[in-house]
Amino acid sequence: MTPPDEFKLNGEFRSPAKTMGPRALRTSGLIREHARDVFLAKGYHGTSVEEIAEAAGVSRASFYTYYPSKRDLLYALGKDTYRAMAATHEEMRELEATWTDDDVYEVIRIYVRFLEQHGAFMLVWNQATYGDEALAKAGTRTRLVNARRFGQFIQRVSGEVVDPDEEPARFGLAILVMIDRYWSYWHVNGFPFSETEVVQTLGDVLGAVIVARRTGSSKPSAKRGRAVRAKR
């Protein structure tokens, strides 16, 4: 089931006609596809509409036929990423019916495939939020929604007794941020690990978290005493 659209920041998308034909769909898709690459190479604030249009092989006028501004294009890319993340959660959820501990590696493979398509844009979105409160709030809200879904997934596959007072976004966010950052160092910065090694490493960490949740050793009440002592 497709979750409700919680990506609340809405940009404007222009259509040259009431119904977009194959050519118009192809052009708008090319603009979005090449914008990701240009944003990644030059950063959001360092990228101009002219550069996006040139990379997509369209005129500046054609760009404005579909997107009133660079910011509206960013919204459209954000929508694409949100929908892809929702589909990624559904793909992970399909593993639950026959879950074994080795499935943690398939979870990582699924998420890495998502990052291959959308990870670079997520980095660009973070750049774009500087000085833009609306973008920052939309990003935070969407991030928490996805962290909560992932945290709930961890709760289900661990078989833990769920504490209704515990917010699953807390640990869901910790794992997703770790994976995102690791992927960035590996994929964007070119750290010398194979994909198999990346999946193995991240899967081992995720597996350890699930085991800890299952045994109850990761619950806040079990750690609170040590955390307080560490501050002294």
- Is a pLDDT exceeding 60 seen at residue 158? yes
Structure-block tokens of residue 193: 């690990």
Give CA–CA dist 103/114, Å, rounded. 17
Is 183 within a domain? yes
- Is a pLDDT exceeding 80 seen at residue 12? no
Q: How confident is the model at residue 23 (pLDDT cuts 50, 70, 90)?
A: confident
φ/ψ bin of 219: left (φ > 0), alpha (ψ from -120 to 50), beta (otherwise) = beta
Tell me the average pLDDT across 202-221.
85
Q: Which whole-number Å values give the CA distances from 59 to 35, 63, 77, 130, in the listed order? A: 14, 6, 20, 29
What confidence score (pLDDT) does residue 37 get? Answer: 85
Residue-wise pLDDT tens digits, 84-93: 999 999 999 9
The residue that leads in pLDDT, 216 or 194, is: 194
Is 60 within a domain? no
What is the model's pTM?
Answer: 0.80
What confidence score (pLDDT) does residue 183 get? Answer: 93
Domain count, the chain: 1
State which residues form the domain around 223.
77-231
Is 31 within a domain? no
Residue-wise pLDDT tens digits, 139-157: 888 899 999 999 999 999 9
Is 58 within a domain? no
Is 108 within a domain? yes
What confidence score (pLDDT) does residue 213 get? Answer: 93
The chain-wide mean pLDDT, for the chain, equals 85
What confidence score (pLDDT) does residue 174 get? Answer: 96
Give CA–CA dist 220/232, Å, rounded. 18
Is 106 within a domain? yes
Residue-wise pLDDT tens digits, 68-81: 999 889 888 888 89
Is 139 within a domain? yes
Q: How confident is the model at residue 126 (pLDDT cuts 50, 70, 90)?
A: confident
What confidence score (pLDDT) does residue 13 get? Answer: 45
The residue that leads in pLDDT, 133 or 5, is: 133
Tell me the average pLDDT across 97-118.
95
CATH number at residue 130: 1.10.357
Structure-block tokens of residue 38: 């240009």
Is 6 within a domain? no
Give CA–CA dist 22/20, Å, rounded. 7
Name the residue with tokens 């209704």.
164
